[in-house]
Chains A and B, each alone.
Chain A
Amino acid sequence: MVEGDMKHGPLLRVNRLTKFYGARTGCRDVSFELWPGEVLAIVGESGSGKTTLLSCLWGDLMPTAGSIEYRMRDGRMRDVMRLSEAERRLLMRTDWGFVRQNPADGLRMNVSAGANVGERLMAVGARHYGNIRSEASDWLGRVEIATDRIDDMPRQFSGGMRQRLQIARNLVTGPRLVFMDEPTGGLDVSVQARLLDLLRGLVADLSIAVVIVTHDLAVARLLSHRMLVMRGGVVVEEGLTDQVLDDPQAEYSQLLVSSILQA
C-alpha cells in the first residue's frame, strides 16, 4: 500500500489482532481492512470472540498483540494504540461512534433527548443554544423521533426510540466509522425491521463505514457488504456477505447458515 494514495486507501486496517485473557484466548490473529462507506458484519455465536474483537477496536480492551491503523481526516494512517489519550478521546467523540446493544449504556438517561444529541456538539465547542437545539431537532427527525419529544427524557421513550436516539447521538458529528454491538438485540421483531431499514438508509446516505457485531445472520444480510465468521477466537471464513451466506465454504459457516435456514 502506497501511503501517498490517501483518498483511496482503506479507512481501518487491522493486523493480526490478538487478545489473551491469561491463558484463555479472546481472539487471535484477526486481520481485515475496512473501506470508507463499507459495512462489515462480524458474526458468530456467544464466546466466538466477536465482542472481544470489538472491545479491542474501540479501545475498551488492550490487545495482547497486533495493530489497528486508522486513516485520520488528514489522510494519514495512524496506529490507534499509539495515539495520545487526548487524540484518542477526540477521535472517539467526533470521527467514531459506538452504538451499544442496551441504549441505556450509550445514552445519558438523566438528561433530555436534545441534550443527548447535543452533547457531542458541545464537546467540540458548540456554544449557541439555539443552534445546538435546532441541530438536535433535525437529527431527531432523521431518526424518526417526533421533534416535540426533544425535551423528554430517554426513559419516557420505548426501546426502539431509545435505540434510534442513541444512533442520532452518535451520528451528529458526522463520524466516518461507527461500531455497533447487536444494535437490534433487545427489540421486538417488528421494531427490529424498522430500525434496520433506518440504519441501512442512514449508512448509505452518509456513506459511513460500519463494523457491526451480531449473532443474527438476517441482520448481517440486510446491512453488510462483507462479513467475517468467527469461532473460538479466530476468523474461520470471510467474504462478500451474499457469497458467504449463499455458498459457505467453512464447515462451521455451513452449519451456522443451515441452522438459521431450518429455524
Chain B
Amino acid sequence: MYVAVKGGEKAIAEAHRLLAEDRRGDPDVAEIGTDQIASQLTLAVDRAMAEGSLYDRGLAALAIKQARGDLIEAIFLLRAYRTTLPRFGYSAPLETQDMLLRRRVSAVFKDLPGGQILGPTFDYTHRLLDFDLESPGEMPDAESFDADVVHGTVPRITDLINNEDGMIEPDVRSDPEVEPDDLTREPLAFPADRSLRLQALARGDEGFLLALGYSTQRGYARTHPFAGEIRFGMVEVEFFVEELGFAVTLGRVSVTECQMVTQFRGTPTQPAQFTRGYGLVFGQSERKSMSMALVDRALRRAEFDEDLVASAQDEEFVLSHCDNIQATGFIEHLKLPHYVDFQAELELLRKIRRGQDERNAAQEAAE
C-alpha cells in the first residue's frame, strides 16, 4: 500500500553530509587552506569579489573553499553574506589616475606619459602546460616583482586625448549633493540611468558580458572600439566624514579599469568627437572590464540616437539577465517539484486527446 512520501528532513541532512565529504575529498591529501586560495588562486578570488560585489579576499577565499571551487556558488555565498551587512554610506569616487599601477597598457598610442607597463599578464605566455608546476618549485624573484609598481599620478588616456580640444567626450562628474542610486537597495526600474547600468554590469556575469561584448564586435551593434587604456593596480578608497568635514582613507582596493574609445559622433552644433565605454571591476580582470566597457557603450544607444538592432543595446534585456545569481537560481529552480502543475497539464492533454478521439469517432460514424 502506498504511503505519502516522507523523510524530506532526513534526506536533506544526508545530502549535506555527503556534500561535506566530497568537499574534503581524499583524506590522505592535505586540506586546502583559505590562505592558500587567497594567495595562489588570486584570479578566482578576484572574480568572486567582483561579482559578489564584496571586497574581502579572506571571505572570498572561504566562499571558494566552501563552494568546492564553483565560482558562481562562491559568489552566491558572498552575496548572501553581504546583504546582512550594515551600510554606512558611499565612498568618494575612485581617483584612478592616482592608482599604484601594476599594469597599464594602451592600444591607441605607441608611447604615452606614464609609459606602457606590461605587468603580470598571461598575454604573451605560450599556452603550454608547465609540468614543473606539478611539484613545488622555487620562489620567483621577489625584487623584480615589486619594482613593477609605479607610484604617483599617471594621467588616464581620456585626459590625454582630451588635451587636444575635446577630441573625446569629457568625464561625467556626478553631483556630490545627490546620493547615487543603489541597485542593491532600490528595485531596478526602466529606463535606468548610466550609473545604475554600470553598477549592474560591474557585478554582472563575466561570461554573459563577454558574449555580449563579443557580439558587438561581430556586427551586432558595432561601436568601432579601441582599447584606449587598461590599467590595473591598487587605488585608495576615501570616505567623506560629515562630522570631520573632510575625506579619510579607508584603505586600498585592487581594480581593473578599461577605457574603451569608440565611434565618434557629431551634431550640427557640436564638433565630432570620440565616444567612450567604461569598465571597472574589483581585482584583475581585463576580460571582464573590457567586455563591460563594450556593453556600456552599446547600451548608450539612446544617448547617441542609434537604432536598436541588437541585444547588447537593449537595456531591459541586458540588465534583466546579466546577474548570474538570479539566472542560476531560476534555471535551477526547475529541479524543484512541479508536480501539481504537471498534473494539471497532463489532465488537460488527456482531455484534448479525448475530444479528438470523440470527433474522429463521430466523423467515422457519419461516413
Is there any pair of Cβ atoms, one from A and one from B, under 8 angstroms apart in the complex?
A: yes
For window 18-62 of chain A, which residues contact chain B by CB distance below 8 Å?
22-24
Please report B residues at the A interface, Cβ cutoff 8 Å: 267-269
- Give the complex CA separation of A24 and B267 in angstroms: 10
* B268: nearest chain-A partner, CB-CB: A23
Number of residues from A at the complex interface, CB < 8 A: 3
In the A-B complex, list the 6 residue pairs whose CB atoms are closest, starting with the nearest. A23-B268, A22-B267, A22-B268, A23-B269, A23-B267, A24-B268
User: With A and B bound together, what is the CA distance between A106 and B269 in angstroms?
Assistant: 37
A22 CB contacts on chain B under 8 angstroms:
267-268
Bound complex: CA of A263 vs CA of B235, how far in Å?
A: 72
6 A/B residue pairs, CB under 8 Å, sorted by A: A22-B267, A22-B268, A23-B267, A23-B268, A23-B269, A24-B268
> How many angstroms from the CA of A71 to the CA of B99 in the assembled complex?
65
Chain A interface (Cβ within 8 Å of chain B)?
Answer: 22-24
Chain B residues within 8 Å of A24, by CB: 268
Q: How far is the CB of A151 from chain B (nearest CB, A)?
A: 15
Complex: chain A residue closest to B270, CB-CB = A22
Contacts of A23 in B (CB 8 A): 267-269
Chain A contacts for B268, CB-based, 8 A: 22-24
The docked-state distance in angstroms from the alpha carbon of A24 to that of B268 is 9
Measured in the bound complex, the distance between the Cα atoms of B142 and A41 in whole Å is: 82
CA distance A46 to B319 in the complex (A): 38
What is the bound-complex CA distance between A22 and B266, given in angstroms? 11
A163 to B269, CA, bound (A): 43
Q: In angstroms, how far is the closest chain B Cβ from the Cβ of A155? A: 23
Could you tell me the distance between the alpha carbons of A126 and B325 in the complex, rounded to whole angstroms?
43
Considering the complex, give the chain B residue whose CB is closest to the CB of A23: B268
Docked CA distance A259–B268 (Å): 35
Q: How far is the CB of A80 from chain B (nearest CB, A)?
A: 25
Chain A residues positioned under 8 Å from B269 (CB to CB): 23
Q: For the complex, give the distance between the alpha carbons of A23 and B269 in Å.
A: 8
- Taking the nearest CB of chain A, how far is it from the CB of B309, in angstroms? 16
Q: Which residues of A contact B267 (CB under 8 A)?
A: 22-23
> Closest B-chain residue to A21, C-beta based?
B305
A114 to B207, CA, bound (A): 44
Minimal Cβ-Cβ distance residue in A for B267: A22
In the assembly, what is the distance between CA of A22 and CA of B268, in Å?
7
Complex Cα gap A22–B267 (Å): 8
Shortest Cβ distance from A69 into chain B, in angstroms?
30
How close is B232's CB to chain A, nearest CB, in angstroms?
40
> In whole Å, how far is B188's beta carbon from the nearest beta carbon of chain A?
23
A23 to chain B, nearest CB (A): 4
Roughly how many angstroms separate A24 CA and B269 CA in the complex, as a whole number?
Answer: 12
B68 to chain A, nearest CB (A): 44
How far is it, in angstroms, between the C-alpha of A23 and the C-alpha of B268 when the chains are bound?
6
CB distance from A148 to the nearest CB of B (A): 17
In the bound complex, CA of A22 to CA of B269 (Å): 9
Cα of A40 to Cα of B53 in the assembled complex, Å: 60
How far does the Cβ of A22 sit from chain B's closest Cβ, in whole Å?
A: 6
Complex Cα gap A23–B270 (Å): 11
Chain B nearest CB: distance from A135 CB in Å? 26
Min distance, Cβ A126 to any Cβ of chain B, angstroms? 26
- Minimum CB–CB distance from A161 to chain B (whole Å) comes to 28
Q: How far is the CB of B267 from chain A (nearest CB, A)?
A: 6
A23 to B305 CA separation, bound complex (whole angstroms): 14
Closest CB in chain A relative to B221 CB, distance in Å:
21
